[in-house]
Amino acid sequence: MRPLVALVLLALVACGESQPTPSDPAALPKEIGGERPASVRYPRELVEGRRYPLVILLHGYGATGAAQDLYLGLSSLTTEYDFILVIPDGTLEDLTHGGTVEPAPGVTPKRFWNATNACCNFHGADVDDVAYLTGLIDEAIDELPIDADRVYLFGHSNGGYMSYRMACDATSRLAGIASLAGATYKDPSRCDPDGLVSVLQIHGSLDDTVPYEGSEFIPSARESVEFWAERAGCDVASPVAGETLDLEDNLPGAETEVLHFEGCDEPGYAFSLYTIVDGSHLPISTKSKNLSRRTLDWLLAQRRGGGTP
């Protein structure tokens, strides 16, 4: 019996050696980005040898990355959803326009992303946020255990605009974007991507900051998604209704209507519109975190170049 026991023990040891071993996130950097540092949040435990999805959270105009994370609660979901989160800050406005004007009394500078022509570089700053965010992605892939085929942007308002800008200008780096109350370019010719990226638009129907139906300078929520769905050859005239969702804590029941643009010539991509009926520019989901959970469900199901993880 002793030889048999020894063989069993050896087999167990061998199996144990073949399994990935846990890695301590404390040994990894808490910030990346150099002179424009971005915070990094990890799952409670990382497995050595495994590559993780990367989600970059982009705040709204006048907010900060920390405030945006407090609002959406993404850092509290890194372990549950097994992803690495990067939280950058936009640039602080120069109200003097390079020292050429006096700022108006009582006006304080706000942080912004230089996204589309509609939002939100209101003072003409020479800031290349596409280069900055692309650099963050490259650094994260080089320095952290990131799956380069699973890089996602989740932006609110100005951060949503910036997510669309990145989809246009850095398409090949991304698997998908989620825009909450943002929009793409009104003029489609301003966006000339070198490929496709999956797109989720989440928008309150009563948003009075970035109107759901669009404006002279802003496409509607549906048009923002349709731009990408059309490029993939999807049937934009007949989207498929999905199961309604409960994304807003202050509205009763499952208030969010779901549309998926399907029948695409380019398979493997997803294009969806979540309409929060009677929702505002700032949907409240801090208690349930349903908005962030359902967004992560959608994002993490996408892969660069189409297909599923």
**CB proximity list for 92: less than 8 A, separation 6 or greater:** 109, 110, 111
Instruction: Say yes or no to pLDDT of 4 above 70.
Output: no
CA distance 189 to 296: 30
Q: What is the mean pLDDT of residues 16-24?
A: 55
Give the per-residue pLDDT at 98.
Answer: 67
pLDDT digits (tens, 9 = 90+) for 145-171: 999 999 999 999 999 999 999 999 999
- Give the CATH fold of the 21-99+106-299 domain: Rossmann fold (3.40.50)
CA distance 211 to 193: 25
Three-state secondary structure call for residue 244:
strand
pLDDT digits (tens, 9 = 90+) for 34-86: 999 999 999 999 999 999 999 999 999 999 999 999 999 999 999 999 999 99
Give the per-residue pLDDT at 9.
Answer: 43
Domain ranges of the chain: 21-99+106-299
Token code pair at residue 202:
């989440």
CA distances from 181 to 42, 86, 194, 231 (A): 26, 20, 25, 22
